[in-house]
Amino acid sequence: MRRLAAVLVASLLTLVASTGLAAAHAKLESMTPADGSTMGVPPTQVVLTFNEPVGSTGAEVQVKSPSGTNFATGDIQVLDNKVTQPVGALTEVGKYTVDARIVSADGHPITVTGSFTVTHAGHGAQPAVATRPANEQGNSNVVVIAVMALVMLVVVALAVVIVRRKPGPE
């Protein structure tokens, strides 16, 4: 009976630990250009950095000028925890708004809003091209969750075997 109790307690602790990992959502750590910053030279891209890898499916970033024109151009590049959105030539002086919707590795959508101000409009240099395609993102969270689920199945199977085992002669 003590073994059964120990197995059940271990199962419960494993379940609680894995729930904590699965419930964590990615959070924005930084934005380049920085939120609220002012710059004389317009940026060629907006980079969002998260605390963990994010997905590329459904990712959307808009960079809107003071008049409301979206200057986001080209494909979003997702590389582990960084999302890069190239922008066209920012031809307006003023406050640009960044609105993004990114999907966390655990499947939950993340909404990000920020802004930066450009004091001299003009043509920026060509945006850098990512060296790895967007669909080759890190899947470390999925692996951790899968391993935890497998461990839980093994623990439950052991508990069932212990409970069903016939006691030997004393």
Q: What is the C-alpha separation between 31 and 18, in angstroms, rounded?
A: 30
Q: Is residue 83 one of the residues assigned to a domain?
A: yes
Q: Is residue 169 one of the residues assigned to a domain?
A: no
Cα 146 to the center of its chain, rounded Å: 18
Q: Is residue 39 one of the residues assigned to a domain?
A: yes
- Pairing of the two strands 77-79 and 109-118: unpaired
Q: Is residue 55 one of the residues assigned to a domain?
A: yes
Q: Can you give the pTM of this predicted structure? A: 0.59
Number of other CB atoms surrounding residue 96 within 10 Å: 23
Task: Quote the pLDDT of residue 44.
Answer: 93
How do residues 37-69 score in pLDDT, each as one tens digit? 999 999 999 999 999 988 888 889 999 999 999
Task: Quote the pLDDT of residue 139.
Answer: 46
Q: Is residue 26 one of the residues assigned to a domain?
A: yes
Number of other CB atoms surrounding residue 2 within 10 Å: 6
How do residues 94-148 score in pLDDT, each as one tens digit? 999 999 999 888 888 889 999 999 998 765 444 433 333 333 334 455 566 666 6
How do residues 8-38 score in pLDDT, each as one tens digit? 677 777 766 655 545 567 889 999 999 999 9
Q: Is residue 170 one of the residues assigned to a domain?
A: no
**Residue found by looking up tokens 């640009």 in the block:** 96
| Domain interval for residue 31 | 2-164
* Overall number of domains in the chain: 1
> How many CA atoms does the CB half-sphere of 93 hold within 13 Å?
4
Task: Quote the pLDDT of residue 160.
Answer: 78
Q: Is residue 121 one of the residues assigned to a domain?
A: yes
Q: Is residue 135 one of the residues assigned to a domain?
A: yes
Q: Using the Cα atoms of residue 16, residue 18, residue 19 and residue 23 in order, give the sign of their dihedral.
A: positive
49: domain CATH number is 2.60.40.1220
